[in-house]
């Protein structure tokens, strides 16, 4: 036998569920936040009650719907965060005893419309308010070259050893795509982790203070540079959600869960651009969308476009499991199956 649970009087484990609820309004990617008394805003979160909820996902749907009246559409688990060190503020947030270990399970959820939430003490916020450097739709944000990279380089130069310095250089290069492949929008999480470690995120100083550690060397981060603050490790969870969504949008038809039932191709493109944070080539996007088989023309049009009326499409949900044709196999398959599977389901 490899192991047995020891049991006994260990510190309790408390599970907290956090949700990154995303909606898209025109060209704005929105994330739901809740107001906290005496602290920064937070993602909606709630304790996981094992007696109440059969699964985490039901727990997430339940507490979001009960508290905001919002029924979630697409829901997927993101990651489970269990690091000590980010826990001190968390434990307080969740009202647990200091020695309890708070494990937070993060979820990503999409909804089709950004309904008003002010009655529930919640609000929709543009997610680029939290990560201003992630929005390249109007070109490269000036703050990257003017403030972020200098701050990161300074952190690199504070490295304790040559080896650590080289590693920091490599990480910065990869995260920001400095001389190889260029900007990769789905590395949002890597970039945030760097900002946090470098002390450029407001949470970093806060967490160190809460843990009784001294302020980091180097000058303090200019306020506002690192983006708006969120409670606990919620900005990290948001960065995880953005990374996941930006990656997934390319190979799964997930964006339709954040669009209205009927949409124009421009709507669709705006939604993808909002999520990915860069502008797309319109004729090519349209060609790809039509060729994918994921959308079907309703025959209706929408006139209020300011120009020629646009055709309204719907998501071809029978193709829900399908991947857009450009999955991009880096794995050149050998031609095994011209006829797929052989047997058909009646």
Task: State which of positions 177-236 bind a copy of itself (CB under 8 A).
Answer: 177-184
Residue 139 binding DNA, by CB under 7 A: no
| Number of chain positions touching DNA (CB under 7 A) | 29
Distance (Å, whole) CA 239 – CA 318: 31
Residue 217 binding DNA, by CB under 7 A: no
* Strand 101-110 with 13-25, pairing: parallel
Binding segment for a copy of itself (CB under 8 A), chosen from 175-183, 199-207, 260-268, 300-308, is 175-183
Task: State which of positions 234-293 bind DNA (CB under 7 A).
Answer: 264-266, 281-284, 286-288
- Residue of the chain from 217, 219, 333, 344 that contacts DNA (CB under 7 A): 333
Residue span 123-162 as binding mask against a copy of itself, x where in contact by CB under 8 A, dash where not: -------------x--xx---xx---x---x--x------
Task: State which of positions 305-334 bind a copy of itself (CB under 8 A).
Answer: 318-334
131 neighbors 227 (Cβ within 8 angstroms) = yes
Partner that binds at residue 7, options a copy of itself, DNA, none, CB closer than 5 to 8 Å by kind: a copy of itself
- Residue of the chain from 25, 62, 103, 158 that contacts a copy of itself (CB under 8 A): 103
Least CB distance to DNA at residue 282 (A) = 5
Residue 138 binding DNA, by CB under 7 A: no
Nearest to 133 by CA among 200, 199, 231: 200
Least CB distance to a copy of itself at residue 7 (A) = 7
Residue 330 binding DNA, by CB under 7 A: yes
Distance (Å, whole) CA 135 – CA 153: 21
Q: Work out the burial of residue 296: count CB atoms within 10 Å of its CB; fewer than 13 is exposed, 13-18 middle, 19 or more buried.
A: middle
Distance (Å, whole) CA 83 – CA 102: 9
Partner that binds at residue 310, options a copy of itself, DNA, none, CB closer than 5 to 8 Å by kind: DNA
Closer to DNA at the Cβ: 98 or 303? 303
Residue 340 binding DNA, by CB under 7 A: no
Least CB distance to DNA at residue 268 (A) = 10
Residue 24 binding DNA, by CB under 7 A: no
Least CB distance to a copy of itself at residue 104 (A) = 10
Residues in CB range of 95: below 8 A, 6 or more apart: none
Q: How many CA atoms lie within 13 A of 223 on its CB side?
A: 1
Backbone angles phi, psi at 133, to 5 degrees: -75, 0
CA distances from 267 to 25, 260, 262, 273 (A): 10, 9, 9, 10
Task: State which of positions 3-32 bind a copy of itself (CB under 8 A).
Answer: 3-7, 10-16
Closer to a copy of itself at the Cβ: 303 or 340? 340
Burial 35-60 (b: 16+ CB within 10 A, else e): eeeeebbbbbbbbbeeeebeebbebb
DSSP sequence for 37-97: TTS--B--EEE--TTT-SSHHHHHHHHHHHHH-PPP-EEEEEEEE--TTSHHHHHHHTT--
* Location of structure tokens 């476009």: 305
Q: Which residues would be at the binding site for DNA (CB under 7 A)?
A: 264-266, 281-284, 286-288, 301, 303-311, 325-326, 328-330, 332-335
């Amino acid at each position: 036998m490899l192991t047995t649970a020891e049991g006994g009087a260990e510190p309790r484990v408390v599970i907290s569920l956090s949700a990154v609820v995303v909606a898209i309004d025109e060209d704005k990617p929105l994330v739901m936040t809740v107001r906290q008394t005496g602290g920064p805003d937070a993602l909606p979160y709630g304790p996981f009650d094992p007696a109440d909820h059969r699964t985490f996902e039901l727990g997430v749907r339940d507490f979001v719907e009960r508290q905001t009246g919002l029924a979630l559409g697409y829901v997927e688990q993101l990651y489970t965060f269990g690091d000590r060190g980010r826990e001190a503020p968390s434990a307080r947030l969740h009202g647990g005893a200091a020695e309890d270990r708070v494990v937070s399970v993060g979820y990503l959820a999409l909804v089709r419309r950004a309904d008003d939430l002010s009655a529930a003490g919640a609000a929709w916020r543009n997610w680029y308010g939290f990560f201003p450097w992630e929005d390249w739709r109007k070109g490269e944000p000036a703050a990257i070259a003017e403030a972020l990279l200098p701050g990161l380089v300074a952190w690199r130069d504070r490295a304790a050893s040559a080896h650590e310095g080289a590693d920091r250089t490599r990480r910065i290069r990869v995260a920001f795509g400095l001389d190889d492949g260029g900007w990769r929008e789905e590395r949002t999480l890597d970039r945030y982790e760097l900002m946090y470690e470098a002390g450029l995120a407001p949470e970093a100083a806060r967490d160190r203070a809460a843990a009784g550690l001294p302020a980091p060397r180097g000058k303090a981060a200019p306020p506002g540079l690192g983006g708006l603050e969120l409670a606990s490790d919620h900005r990290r969870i948001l960065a995880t959600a953005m990374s996941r969504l930006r990656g997934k949008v390319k190979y799964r038809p997930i964006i339709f869960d954040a669009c209205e039932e009927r949409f124009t191709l421009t709507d669709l493109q705006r939604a993808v651009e909002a999520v990915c944070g860069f502008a797309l080539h319109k004729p090519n996007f349209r060609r790809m969308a039509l060729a994918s088989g994921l959308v079907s023309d309703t025959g209706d049009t929408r006139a209020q476009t300011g120009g020629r009326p646009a055709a309204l499409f719907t998501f071809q949900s029978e193709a829900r499991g399908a991947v857009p044709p450009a999955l991009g196999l880096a794995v050149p398959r050998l031609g095994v199956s011209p006829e797929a599977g052989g047997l058909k389901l009646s």
